[in-house]
Structure 1
Amino acid sequence: MNAFPRRKPQVPRGRRHRRVDGRRLALLGGLYLVLLAAVAVLVAAFIHPREIAVHAQSESPGKIVLTVESQGRRTRFDMRALEALPQRTYKVTTPWYLRPVSFQGPLLRDVLAAAGAHGTHIEAVAVNDYTADIPFEHAEAYDVIIALRMDGKPMSPRDKGPLFVVYPYDRLPPGMREKSFDLSVWQLDGLRVR
């Protein structure tokens, strides 16, 4: 009689295999989540936001009325943010109105400082894409304002608003006064500093 070699009883491989595959899957899934979290941390650490909105103590920002671009960065202002800056008022004679008009708004240099903008030229851009190249030093030398109000009232687009670059025309030297009229951009929409 031939003896057959005894074989070990076989444990069904399917269950054991499934348990091992489940463990592998859980391990791979965990590693994937760790890798994904590491990539998210690296992205957050190395990518800086390019647009900054400036709001004056307002949790819900208003409509953006002015965008300042400088060194690849944009700062957006709503009307409250511009009103929160120190205000100046000038009563001036202009070629656009028959009588002297009072303008009120923040100094151009204060708006640029709030945006962290600096350079040598300011390209003032109107809603209709009209542009004027204002030398950066004018903001300091001539106390230029971004007018928000005319005769104490907000300016509508019909009245050159809502924003208007205004020089203190009556205090300027005669040659500069004429030039400043060309640099006075009404319906101002943006400032590009370079």
Structure 2
Amino acid sequence: MPLKRRFFVTIFLTLLACSWVRADEAAYPLDLPALKVHSPGQPVRTFTLRTLQSMPATTVTARGPADERVSEWRGVPLAYLLRQLHVSPPANAQLRMRALNDYSVIIPASDINRYSPVIAYQRDGQPMPVESLGPLFLMYPFDQHHELRTQKYYNRAIWQLSEIFIE
């Protein structure tokens, strides 16, 4: 095959492969369950993305825990979600956050009022597909509170958040 033709075939196949990879990153369906909240003495509450997006939202501008790119993370303040459930955990309570891959992390309830973490459903104005750490990401305002820039808090910024257990 002539060099010029091989070059164009290679470019075409590369572009085709790139477009196929992006097709896999579909947005999470708005009406499927996205988050479950377990609270003692209450039934499990399930939220879809549509339900979460209908709640008052806030935006946190911060670097993600695993990259240096500053992004705008839009979502529901964790404190607001808990108030909607009539849950007010004492300051010494813990919230266990679980991801789709079963990773879990403990968040002290004191973080809620002190740092106002957000259950983000958008990054830079775009929904977050599961393949890109979505559909939900618990984001702390790392760039507003310098004390958050430690591994302890980066670990609490859980991506692919799927369940919250109030303990």
Normalising by structure 2, report the TM-score: 0.75
Q: Is residue 2:154 matched to residue 1:185?
A: no
SS in 1 for 2:31: coil
**Alpha-carbon separation, structure 2, partners of 1:63 and 1:112:** 20
**Alpha-carbon separation, structure 1, partners of 2:77 and 2:114:** 11
Moved more, 93-102 or 150-159: 93-102
Paired residue type of 1:146: I
The residue number in structure 1 matching 2:11 is none
Query: Gapped runs of 5+ residues in structure 2?
Result: 1-29
Query: Gapped runs of 5+ residues in structure 1?
Result: 1-60
The residue number in structure 1 matching 2:101 is 128
Instruction: State, as a whole percentage, how many aligned pairs show the same letter.
Output: 29
Which of 56, 65, 73 is the matching residue for 2:34?
A: 65
Normalising by structure 1, report the TM-score: 0.65
The residue number in structure 2 matching 1:113 is 83
Query: What's the offset of the Cα at 1:159?
Result: 1.4
Task: Please report the RMSD computed on the Cα atoms of aligned residues, expressed in angstroms.
Answer: 1.5
* CA deviations over 1:53-91 (Å, ceiling 9, x no partner): xxxxxxxx9211000000142111111111111111112
Query: What's the offset of the Cα at 1:117?
Result: 2.5
The answer on whether the counterparts of 1:118 and 1:193 sit within 8 Å (CA) in structure 2 is: no
SS in 2 for 1:168: coil
- The structure with the greater share of residues assigned to helix is 1
The answer on whether the counterparts of 1:70 and 1:118 sit within 8 Å (CA) in structure 2 is: no
Q: State how many pairs are aligned.
A: 133
The residue number in structure 2 matching 1:89 is 59
**Alpha-carbon separation, structure 2, partners of 1:81 and 1:181:** 27
Q: Tell me: higher relative CO, structure 1 or 2? Use CA pairs within 8 A at least 6 residues apart.
A: 2
Which of 45, 48, 60 is the matching residue for 1:78?
A: 48
